Amino acid sequence: MRTRQSAVKAAVEKHGKERKNLLPILQEVKRSKNYLSRSDISDVAAEMNLSSAYVYGVASFYHFLDLEERGQNIIWICKTISCYMKGSKDILLALEEALKIKVGETTSDGKFTLLQTNCIGWCHKGPAMLINDQPFTDLTTEKVLNIIEEYYQKS
């Protein structure tokens, strides 16, 4: 936990203690293990002289500031209409089957978390998804399994 605390300290030092830097700080703290724990929240609050409740209130507002434990790689499948019309449901089912988890869950080896999200700005090339920061488009069930395999090998 010590290392976490120092990660928080470093992030606050880098961006500055003023409240306006809260989002970049939370984003940076989140990135080191893909989610924000309760102690991260209270550490950030203490460092910035804010209440934990306030920091939690802000963090819980934003979809990508995950407050639950996540895997090494987070898969976000777009569920909005243009991708839906191009078969995003099939992509989701293929992933659920391959990873043996349901949406919202993390694989037992901790490598993947499977989530859905709203339009990610690739509607002309649906179905689309993000793995961490990287977009993938024009997905087919075959293509998506190859992509997952690649990430599996890497992590």
Partner 1 sequence: MAKRKLKRVDLIFSQDCSCKDILTAALKKSREEIIQELIDSGLKGRGGAGFPTGLKWKMAAAEKGNRKYVICNADEGEPGTFKDREILDRVALKVLGGMALCAYVIDAREGYIYLRYEYRFLIPKLEKMIETFHKWMDEFDLDFRVKLFIGGGAYVCGEETSLIESMEGKRGEPRNKPPYPTNQGYLGKPTVVNNVETLVYTMMIMRIGAEEFKAMGIEGSSGSKLFSVSGDTHKAGIYEIEMGMTLEDFVKEFGDGDTKAVQVGGASGFCVPRKRFKETTIGFQGGLKGFSLPTGGSMMIFNSSRSMYNVLHNYLEFFEEESCGQCTPCRVGCQQLLKGIEAIKRGEKSHRYLNDLMRLSETMKLTAKCGLGQSVANSFASIVENFREEMIY
Per CB under 8 A, residues contacting partner 1 are 18-24, 26-27, 57-58, 61-65, 79-82, 84-85, 117-126, 130, 133-135
Q: What's the closest the beta carbon of residue 122 comes to ligand FES, in angstroms?
A: 4
Smaller CB distance to ligand FES: residue 25 or 83?
83
Smaller CB distance to partner 1: residue 62 or 109?
62
Q: What's the closest the beta carbon of residue 92 comes to ligand FES, in angstroms?
A: 12
Q: Does 82 bind ligand FES (CB under 6 A)?
A: yes
Q: What's the closest the beta carbon of residue 108 comes to partner 1, in angstroms?
A: 27
Which DSSP string corresponds to the chain? Answer: -HHHHHHHHHHHHHH-SSGGGHHHHHHHHHHHHTS--HHHHHHHHHHHT--HHHHHHHHTT-TTS--S---SEEEEEE-SHHHHHTTHHHHHHHHHHHHT--TT-B-TTSSEEEEEES--S-GGG-S-EEETTEEE-S--HHHHHHHHHHHHHH-
**String marking each residue 52-81 x if it binds ligand FES according to CB under 6 A:** --------------------------x-x-
